Chains A and B, each alone.
Chain A
Amino acid sequence: MAMGKADESLRSTRLVFYKEDIEKIAKVLNTFLKNANARCVLLVDKDGHLVTKEGESSTYDMDTISALVAGSFAATKQMAKLLGEEEFSIMFHQGKKDNIQLSLVGERTILAVIFDDKTTLGMVRLYASQVSSKLGELFTDISERKSEGEKISQEFGQAAKGKLDDIFGS
């Protein structure tokens, strides 16, 4: 499948996301949120970095949630291998009020949907599978495009070291 190739490229070219990419992704995610009536959706890289988020998420500690989402997905992958499966592509955790569904987009990105009783697991799952394929196409486009975009400033290294001295003590 084309997706596999795109992921390979993403994996080797590292993770750089440009504004225009994220805007396209955000559009897809917002449509998904409306359709599925979910509360919040996150896109997390398998290394545990948050790629983008949409919906109500101001109260959540996004960095930690992203790390844990990636961690639990990675653990599940190991479990799948032991059971003779290559990967479990969907995970679901049910709470009293809130639930979270994690599903794989391509090979290196995880779609995490947080939803409550305003919707149902079926709705979320239905629209999540649609959105996954749309995002997959977007990632293919992103990975196939030549990365001639914005770059970080040359002063980044020096500025960062200054910050490290300020925060950690020189």
Chain B
Amino acid sequence: MVQINFARREVNCKIVFYGPGLSGKTTNLEIIHKKVPDTARGNLTSIATEQDRTLFFDFMPLDLGQVAGMKTKLFLYTVPGQVYYDSTRKLVLQGADGVAFIADSDPNRMNDNLESFKNLERNLKDYGVDIRKLPVVIQYNKRDLPGALSVPELNAKMNSINAPTFEAVAVKGEGVMQTLKGISKLVVDRLNEEYAPVKSAASAPAAVAAPAARPATAPPPPRPPSGVTPAPAPAARPAPPPPPAARPAPPPPPARPAPPVPAARPAPPPPAPRPIAPPPAPVPAAAEKKGSGKGGLILIFLLILLAGAAAAWHFDIIKGVPPAPWKK
């Protein structure tokens, strides 16, 4: 199952090499590992028996680098071929986006090919997948065997789904990359069909409206329009820029300054009427400008005390103090 991760700007596809035991699935992966440039290949991991037979699966990630602004990876898996490993085979097949079926050209192995192909069909069906609708290619391996069945014969016997076929001698590296490219292109085509925006008139406005509804996804413009950038993945990785851009959450800042400013100005008048009008007014305003609300309050309190003292003086409440000059 293709995973599209817009946060990591990644597209991940799973391709499974299927087929009977000893048909050359692991060999295919080993050759791919040898031939693919260092920048693209990951480690080849095998879960195998002591005799180097695949026990669970082999796994290798392939990094295609930036493709149309998305870091694209193919994850290659092989299944164990022996009949009695069916349950593990089925597990590996889960979520496959494409299958490369590796068949043995030896006439004596024809039944094994057919049995394995039926098994593939059945296991896919159990996952609700119709083999005719899934990208599948068939590789006829071991073409160098004396007495190998001809391609028309093989096609007639086992290619009932009309899948693209490739001839190969995997141990010598022949036909391996062609097979991989064949299945990869089918997977990519399918992906494009299902996920690329449709150009129809009805869907066009929806595509435009979508980014507006999601502010978080709108900022990542680093997506290069051509997408055909050379392999250097780390340099081109556009994923990091968007997160910091989205994090500051632009909407709140403009909202915040707006209400407080008008609200702050009307606020000073209420305390103003109480003390003697002229001096206090500018004082709290200045205090507010500095942002120290406490200082303003203390000043107001002192002014009230002063006014109280003046009143006391006026009404001769304090003994031993000469009368107020304005009383006469």
Contacts and interface: CB of A to CB of B under 8 A. Distances in A.
Interface in B12-66: 12, 14, 35-37, 40, 42-43, 45, 47, 56-57, 59, 61-62, 64-65
Interface size, B (range): 35 or more
Interface string A15-45: 1111111110000000000000000000001
A67 B210 contact: no
Given A71-B91, A156-B196, A23 B75 contact: no
Contacts of B230: 166
Contacts of B246: 19, 23
Interface stretch (A48-56, A86-94, A133-141): A48-56
A154 interface: yes
A168 B217 contact: no
B217 A19 contact: yes
Interface size, A (range): 35 or more
Given A67-B59, A150-B217, A153-B68, A15 B196 contact: no
B209 interface: yes
A164 B226 contact: no
Contacts of B177: 168-169
Contact of A15 (B1, B7, B226): B1
Contact of A156 (B88, B220, B227, B242): B227
Contacts, number: 199
B6 A17 contact: yes
B199 interface: yes
A47 B5 contact: no
Interface string B58-80: 01011011011110110101000
A5 interface: no
A48 B75 contact: yes
A151 B91 contact: no
B207 interface: yes
Can you list the 7 inter-chain pairs with the closest CB atoms, starting with the nearest? A47-B95, A157-B192, A22-B7, A159-B227, A49-B3, A20-B216, A63-B61
